[in-house]
Amino acid sequence: MKKEHYIKELLTYKIKHPLSIMNKILITHISLIIFILLIVSTYMITNELQTLDHNIKDKILSLSNILSKDTRIVNALEENKDSKSLNKYLDELHSENIDIDLIVVVNKEEKRIYHPDKEKIGKEFSGNDDQKILAGSLPYVTDGKGSAHYQRRAFSSVRDKDGNVLGFVMVSAYLSTINNLHQHIILNCFILFIVSLLGGILFSYLVSQNIKNTLLGHEPDKFIKLYLQKEEVLESLEEGIIAIDQTGKCIFVNKPAKKMLVNHSYQEEEQIITNFINRHLLPVLSSKKAEYNLMLNMNDISIIMNKIPIIENNQLFGVVTLFRDKTEVTQLAEELTGVNHIMSALRANTHEHINKLHVILGLLQIGETKMAMDYISNESAKVEDGYYKIIQKIKNTTIAALILGKISRANELNIHMKIQKESFLDANTPYLSTNDLVTIIGNLIENAMDAVKDCEDVKEINLFLQSNEEGITIVVDDTGIGMSKEQIELIYTTNFTTKEKGHGIGLKLIKNIVERCDGIIEIESEPHIGTSFTIIFNRKPRTYMEEFQ
């Protein structure tokens, strides 16, 4: 059970912690290096050992053969006695050949007449591998045990002028010496193996690090994911983007760019983009100077364009251009600053005054001068009364003008809009800028108008504004179509709109202001009854509700 549990834990760990591609490359390289080194080392060791054995065999056999023909040895065997000159000669020869351990001269009675160990001279030769050579065999090599050590021994017969065997010369190397030489070769190969392995590991590490740096420290699958995410982000932007490298080759074009460039054009897409690059980007590639907020007309579309060279460490990598439909930019700027609401209010006032001027003109044309004068007086009194009430409550002239315009617009739509008598707004408030106030109030009233304009019953909008040292409160009530709880939840979580595509940015702007200024937004709504938006900055909702009630 413990073993199964251990295996399960190991597999689970491997699944949860897979090897990185860098480690995989490192392990693969090291495994391949070890495999190759093992093959090479095995071949080298085998070859070196075989060469060593062959060389030793050749040397002892060659030396024994040469000595067997040496006249000093032949004479000594014929006389059957050792001599000082022979001992001196063979001692010097033995000392000069460090890889030769033993030289022995034996007569046909198997008595040693020369041995490096002088005590063994005259004694019988040990070992049974000399019989063949005494019988007249050709030189040969054997492995056997001598008087003290296991040896590799070469035998060569010594003959007189008539070819009779007088004895033999035995030259040998101890097997222990040969084994030491084997170990030395193996050790050298092992050291070479370790050095090569460490070098291979270092090389593999450097290669993996280079790959890692090339991928900016990311795994290939993550790098691909990031690349695809980047592509999705660039494709989802409303700005057109075109990028070229340092050679002028196009490396990226997103869909908005293609749409703006190719729209209503009879030329091929690739040709249009190439012409655009040649005309607008290649000059920047040469000058290395950025150009901002350029106006350009293309395919009946007025666009705003920025051209920026990509420079890092004083090296030019390419040029990128970003452009957008000027009309869209203008509309967005108007939404963000609230200018559209001011303009709408002015248009409503202008339209209302034009209608009244038409009435006055008509009365004058039919000769009803008295009625025209009375109409002017009555309308002036109404305007002054409404204007005076709002100016008294709303000290911020921009907001006052906005409200007056919205009231005029509501009158055109047959909507009864009023501002609560308890309302008051300072000329300047530390909680919100005038632009933010225009955005919030303008969008809330505009949404309320959209909600009530198609209602068949009561069409009412109530506005309440309150500002003091504690904060600022904005309330807009309407008797419109209302919203369900699900729709209210969507307002808090997404860019919710009940309008057609291209509208409804107002709620998003309001949410952004509320979040940025640490405000509170409350929505109460019932389908087919109405909706109430309450927005408070630096105030508790309960305090406001108590005041309002």
Q: How many domains does the chain have?
A: 3
Residue 499 covered by a domain: yes
Examine residue 387 and state whether it is found in any structural domain, yes or no: yes
Which pLDDT belongs to residue 500? Answer: 43
Check whether residue 272 and residue 346 sit in a common domain: no
pLDDT at residue 541, as a whole number: 45
Count helices and strands (H / E) in the chain: 18, 15
Q: How confident is the model at residue 540 (pLDDT cuts 50, 70, 90)?
A: very low
User: pLDDT for 456-466, tens place per residue?
Assistant: 888 899 999 99
Closest among 177, 175, 178, 132 to 156, alpha carbons compared:
132
Q: How confident is the model at residue 138 (pLDDT cuts 50, 70, 90)?
A: very high
Q: E strand or H helix at 291, and its extent?
A: strand 291-298
Domain annotation covers residue 232: no
> Quick one: 346 and 375 in the same domain?
yes
Instruction: Judge if 362 and 315 occupy the same domain.
Output: no
Based on the fold, state whether residues 323 and 347 are members of the same structural domain: no
Angle at the Cα of 226 from the Cα atoms of 221 and 231, rounded to 5 degrees: 125
Average pLDDT of span 1-9: 52
Q: Are 522 and 473 in contact (CB under 8 A)?
A: no
Same domain, 63 and 185: yes
Residue 471 belongs to a domain with what CATH number? 3.30.565.10
Q: Which DSSP state fits 139?
A: P
**Are 352 and 480 members of one domain?**
yes
pLDDT at site 407: 83
Q: Are 349 and 405 in contact (CB under 8 A)?
A: yes
Instruction: For residue 157, count other CB atoms closer than 10 A to its CB.
Output: 24
DSSP, collapsed to helix, strand or coil, labels residue 65 as helix
Q: What does the pLDDT look like over 428-442, one tens digit per residue?
A: 888 888 888 888 888
DSSP alpha helices (H): ranges in 248-368?
Answer: 255-262, 269-276, 282-287, 326-337, 339-365
Contacts of 423 (CB under 8 A, 6+ apart): 393, 394, 463, 464, 465, 466
Indicate if 41 and 190 belong to the same structural domain. yes
Residue 14 forms part of a structural domain: no
What letter represents residue 366's amino acid?
Answer: I
Alpha-carbon separation of residue 520 from 23, 433, 447, 523 (angstroms): 52, 17, 19, 10
Name the H helices within 215-338: 220-236, 255-262, 269-276, 282-287, 326-337
Confirm if 419 and 386 have CB atoms less than 8 A apart. no
Beta-carbon neighbour count of residue 196 at 10 Å?
16
d(CA 241, CA 308) in angstroms, rounded, equals 11
Residues 364 and 426 in one domain: yes
* Orientation of helix 339-365 relative to helix 369-393, angle to 10°: 160
Residue 502 lies in a domain: yes
Torsion of CA 186, 190, 192, 195, to 10 degrees: -170
35 and 174 assigned to the same domain: yes
Query: What integer pLDDT is reported at residue 501 of this predicted model?
Result: 40
Band (367; pLDDT cuts 50, 70, 90)? confident
Task: Give the pLDDT mean for 234-250.
Answer: 83
- Same structural domain for residues 343 and 327? no
Asked whether the predicted pLDDT for residue 124 surpasses 50, the reply is: yes
pLDDT band at 140 (very low <50, low <70, confident <90, very high): very high
Name the token pair of 454.
């198609």
Q: The domain spanning residue 99 has which CATH number?
A: 3.30.450.20
Q: From CA 272, how far away is CA 262, in angstroms rounded?
A: 7
Which carries the bigger pLDDT value, residue 445 or residue 238?
445
**pLDDT higher than threshold 80 for residue 327:** no
- Whole-model pTM: value is 0.43
127 in a structural domain? yes
Residues 432 and 476 in one domain: yes
What is the C-alpha to C-alpha distance for residues 506 and 443, in angstroms, rounded to an integer?
5
Mean pLDDT over 533-546 rounds to: 64
As a whole number, the mean pLDDT across the chain is: 79
pLDDT beyond 50 at 63: yes
Spatial separation of the C-alpha atoms in residues 268 and 100, rounded to whole Å: 90
Residue 13 lies in a domain: no
| Residue 530 lies in domain | 338-548
pLDDT tens-digit readout, 193-221: 899 888 888 888 888 778 777 766 666 66
Residues 536 and 516 in one domain: yes
What pLDDT sits at residue 402? 83
Q: Report the sign of the C-alpha dihedral through residues 400, 406, 411, 416, in that order.
A: negative
- Residues 208, 213, 214, 220, Cα dihedral to 10°: 70
In a domain, 8, yes or no: no
For residues 366 and 360, give the distance between their C-alpha atoms in angstroms, rounded to a whole number.
Answer: 10
